[in-house]
């Protein structure tokens, strides 16, 4: 089955700096890659997603890039704010069936 | 638009007991998936239900079973509870068929097995 690896496990940045989280996947058949943000004690919430026919997608301060050849995708957050502090999960799916999640990155944005 | 709701929010059970967790899907969604999230880990796929039938299963033993009802709500049943079953159980609804939608999660049920 699919295996998703996520790095780093923790990331600490200064407010205003950029943060990058990277994920790799093993199954070349995966074609949908969402990113979820989970604040302490709350549900995972979708923040951005990308399909395999697109190389990059941006939504305000958040962007995701996908390299299908290398089987990796990354989340980029610019101009980080303290409210960006949370655990971020990447995931991979084939045709929206099973979703395989990474182990999470705890982002701490220091004011 | 009503979101995904799960009940109960917390549950404490003893090893060997059975538990039933419930989920109401977001309005307009016809698919329900269940995930187990151990502390400090990402969610792990248990199974998915579409049109009241299991539509994919992760690496979980048969003592994990489920149901989907005509109104798209769902139950997760776990028999013969083990200590390692202690986790946050997340239900996620989505749309399947002609148009697929991302997963929308509920707040989860925190299960503690003692």
pLDDT of residue A41: 86
Chosen from A4, A25, A43 to mutate, greatest number of chain B CBs within 10 A: A43
pLDDT of residue B98: 65
Is it the case that residue B1 has pLDDT exceeding 60? no
Is it the case that residue B91 has pLDDT exceeding 60? yes
Q: Does A104 touch chain B (CB under 8 A)?
A: yes
Is it the case that residue A25 has pLDDT exceeding 80? yes
Q: Give the sheet arrangement for strand A4-7, strand by strand.
A: A4-7, A19-25, A72-77, A62-67, A56-59
Question: What DSSP letter does each residue of B3-25 carry, written as one string?
Answer: --EEE-SEEEE-TT--EEEEEEP
Query: What are the tens digits of pLDDT across the range A55-101?
Result: 999 999 999 999 999 999 999 999 999 999 999 999 999 887 789 99
Contact residues, chain B, for A98 at CB < 8 Å: 45, 48, 56, 58
Q: Do B102 and A34 touch (CB under 8 A)?
A: yes
Chosen from B32, B37, B42, B44 to mutate, greatest number of chain A CBs within 10 A: B42
Give the residue-averaged pLDDT of B93-106. Answer: 83
Q: Which of A20, A3, A4 is nearest to A90 (CA)?
A: A4
Query: What are the tens digits of pLDDT across the range B11-43?
Result: 999 999 999 999 999 888 889 999 999 998 999
Nearest residue, CB atoms, B56 vs list A44, A98, A102: A98
């Amino acid at each position: 089955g699919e295996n998703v690896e996520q790095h780093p496990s923790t990331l600490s940045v200064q407010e205003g700096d950029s943060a990058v989280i990277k994920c790799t996947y093993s199954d070349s058949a995966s074609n949908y890659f969402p990113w979820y943000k989970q604040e302490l004690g709350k549900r995972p919430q979708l923040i951005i997603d990308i399909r395999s026919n697109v190389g990059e997608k941006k939504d305000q301060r958040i962007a995701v890039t996908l390299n299908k050849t290398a089987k990796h995708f990354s989340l980029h957050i610019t101009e980080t704010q303290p409210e960006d502090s949370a655990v971020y999960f990447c995931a991979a799916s084939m045709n929206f069936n099973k979703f395989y999640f990474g182990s999470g990155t705890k982002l701490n944005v220091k004011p | 638009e009503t979101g995904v709701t799960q009940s109960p929010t917390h549950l404490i059970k003893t090893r060997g007991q059975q538990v039933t967790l419930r989920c109401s899907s977001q309005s307009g969604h016809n698919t329900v998936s269940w995930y187990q999230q151990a502390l400090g880990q990402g969610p792990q796929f248990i199974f998915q239900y579409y049109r009241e039938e299991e539509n994919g299963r992760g690496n979980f033993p048969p003592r994990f079973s489920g149901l989907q009802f005509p109104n798209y709500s769902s139950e997760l049943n776990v028999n013969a509870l083990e200590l390692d079953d202690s986790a946050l159980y997340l239900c996620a609804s989505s749309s399947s068929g002609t148009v697929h939608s991302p997963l929308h999660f509920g707040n989860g049920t925190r299960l503690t097995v003692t």
